[in-house]
A = this chain, B = another copy of it.
Amino acid sequence: GFPGTPGIMGMKGEKGEGAFIHRSAFSVGLTGRVPHPNVPILFSKVFYNEQQHYDVSTGKFRCSVPGMYYFAYHLTVYLSDAKISLYKQDRAVLFTYDQFQPNNVDQASGSVLLHLNAGEEVWLQVYGEGANNGVYADNINDSTFMGFLLYPDLDVH
């Protein structure tokens, strides 16, 4: 007899991965002068923290989605010099220093791209012996910290 009819067409491939399945972002601000050196700075004014990956009780961002992140901060320098580091897992990765002079409030900022594995934490902290804790904020002066996932690791899709 004749051969059978050809098989039916294979299934359509899966849809490609979307950009926006993996989201992680926070944007927070300080509500007063940095009170304690040598511990993570607590930013408790929340602009955005939908995924709750920033912990307002510890001041730390904790990575849930492995990938490459952007972090930035903008600090009001008032009353004393400010020396701030961005920490990743107890290591100071980035250092920002700005000296204060009377009647000359300043602004200091920093940003960086870092790859994070799941569970790794990032925060800001006064660097050194605590003399340089001139980071200030009140209800009409901000000092802020933010981060967002830019490129999730390809192998976690």
**Interface of A with B (CB < 8 Å)?**
1-20, 23, 25-27, 29, 47-48, 50, 68, 70, 72, 74, 76, 92-101, 103-115, 127, 140-142, 144, 146, 148, 150-152, 154, 157
Most buried by B among A68, A76, A103, A113: A113
B74 and A110 form a contact (CB under 8 A): yes
Say whether B12 contacts A113, CB under 8 Å: no
Complex CA gap A23/B149 in Å reads 13
Q: Contact check: which of B23, B25, B50, B111 meets A74 at CB < 8 Å?
A: B111
Tell me which of B6, B9, B25, B114 contacts A68 (CB under 8 A).
Answer: B25
A19-B20, A95-B140, A98-B106 known; A113 vs B25 contact (CB < 8 Å): yes
Contacts of A146 in B (CB 8 A): 111-113
Contact B20 A157 (CB under 8 A): yes
Q: Measured between alpha carbons, how far is A94 from B143 in the docked complex, in Å?
A: 9
**A144: B residues at CB distance < 8 A:** 94, 110-112
- 6 more CB-based (< 8 A) A-B contacts, given A12-B16, A92-B140, A99-B103: A13-B15, A15-B16, A16-B17, A48-B114, A76-B97, A97-B105
